[in-house]
A = this chain, B = another copy of it.
Amino acid sequence: MISVPCTAWFHNPVDTWKVGVKVRLGLNLRDSQAIRGEQVPHATIRPQGFPELKNDTFLRAAWGEDTDYTPVWCMRQAGRYLPEFRETRAAQDFFSTCRSPEACCELTLQPLHRFPLDAAIIFSDILVVPQALGMEVTMVPGKGPSFPEPLREECDLERLKHPATVASELGYVFQAITLTRQRLAGRVPLIGFAGAPWTLMTYMVEGGSSSTMAQAKRWLYQRPQASHRLLRILTDALVPYLVGQVAAGAQALQLFESHAGHLGPQLFSKFALPYIRDVAKQVKAQLQEAGLAPVPMIIFAKDGHFALEELAKAGYEVVGLDWTVAPKKARERVGKTVTLQGNLDPCALYASEEEIGRLVKQMLDDFGPQRYIANLGHGLYPDMDPKHVGAFVDAVHKHSRLLQQK
């Protein structure tokens, strides 16, 4: 077992996170090849001091191992569709909530109290990374995130802090993860996450949401070198941030390339894919260097249908799918070397519970019983009925068990 002094960080996170991961954790190096071997089930490797994991179905599916049924979780499963979420969040502004480990822990656990989900995902936001790089971000209710001073010129990159300092700025996320891992009591694994470099860049340049990403794409065409500089800064910030999440207790990692669809195949291969690959490579190397057990990594490139083959070879154990890719075609394209995740149309949850069951059955039939994690093709929307989320989760469990018996 690897010893991780999680309690120590939790009480004194800032000082702890100011030094390097390897020194900070004081761990013995361990051969991650052996950890990946079939003789040692991955789910049993975890930082010491956390409760034993009781349901490793999600992790097994992510690693490509056989499971008795199809595991399921929902993107944005902690969210505004839950009345208890709205009540908790009403007390303070969005990023204050993100900075409160107690609140993040509570919000992460809320959906678990209602539904027999097979994984929890830490409540946080992808924009904490631009914040940690020194950019001001506020969440405007009904509008979304807003950067009062987005990046306009190459010289604006000078305003950004050094990426190496980012992980120390984000101690509150690590605290939230450690606390949540403890409170989860081993019920299901905890997923950490981050936004991918291109997606973070869009927000930093656009200053918020955009239907065209024309400003951010203008950078790619007019300032390719500055764009690469920014994407490199983000990559260098993300790697220690994700490694830190694992050190803090995250048992899997998802990288969200939410704005992949704004890039065609050419731009994606130049400005997104190399950084997606590098994040996986560096995170794995640094986990090994720090003596931390590897965790499965998930890449979800929304609307990135054109890059499925490349994503399947980008160093991630799991490729997430939105709802625009047919399951059978996706499997044909990616081969058998990765686990697929997704891809029910989120709006399917507006259908009757009976219809949800029918759609889930079709999806499970098409993906087949193994190397698959059920999920929506995008996050839950605020006006969705929690009952229908429950119907989705139950349908996955029920139909996948029946499918396994065939």
Q: Chain A: residues with CB nearer than 8 A to chain B?
A: 209, 211-214, 217-218, 220-222, 261, 263-267, 303, 305-306, 323-326, 343, 345-348, 350-352, 355, 377, 381, 383
Contacts and interface: CB of A to CB of B under 8 A. Distances in A.
Contacts of A218: 347, 350
29 contacts: A212-B347, A212-B381, A213-B347, A214-B347, A214-B383, A217-B345, A217-B347, A217-B350, A218-B350, A221-B347, A221-B351, A221-B355, A222-B350, A222-B352, A261-B261, A261-B303, A261-B324, A264-B324, A264-B326, A264-B343, A264-B345, A264-B377, A265-B324, A265-B326, A303-B324, A305-B305, A305-B324, A306-B324, A306-B325
Given A209-B211, A267-B345, A222 B351 contact: yes
Complex copy number for this chain:
2
Contacts of A265: 324, 326
A377 B263 CA distance: 12
Given A265-B326, A347-B221, A351-B221, A211 B214 contact: no
The 9 closest A-B pairs by CB, nearest first: A217-B347, A221-B351, A264-B323, A218-B350, A221-B350, A265-B326, A264-B324, A264-B345, A306-B324
Nearest to A359: B266
A270 to B, nearest CB: 12
Contacts of A222: 350-352
A92 to B, nearest CB: 26
B347 A326 contact: no
Contacts of A383: 214
Contacts of A303: 261, 303, 324
Residue among A325, A347, A350, A351 having the largest count of chain B Cβ atoms under 10 Å:
A347
Contacts of A214: 347, 350, 381, 383
A218 B388 CA distance: 13
Contacts of A263: 324
A153 to B, nearest CB: 15
A32 to B, nearest CB: 36
A323 B343 CA distance: 23
Contacts of A264: 323-326, 343, 345, 377
Contacts of A213: 347
A11 B83 CA distance: 61
Nearest to A210: B211
A320 to B, nearest CB: 15
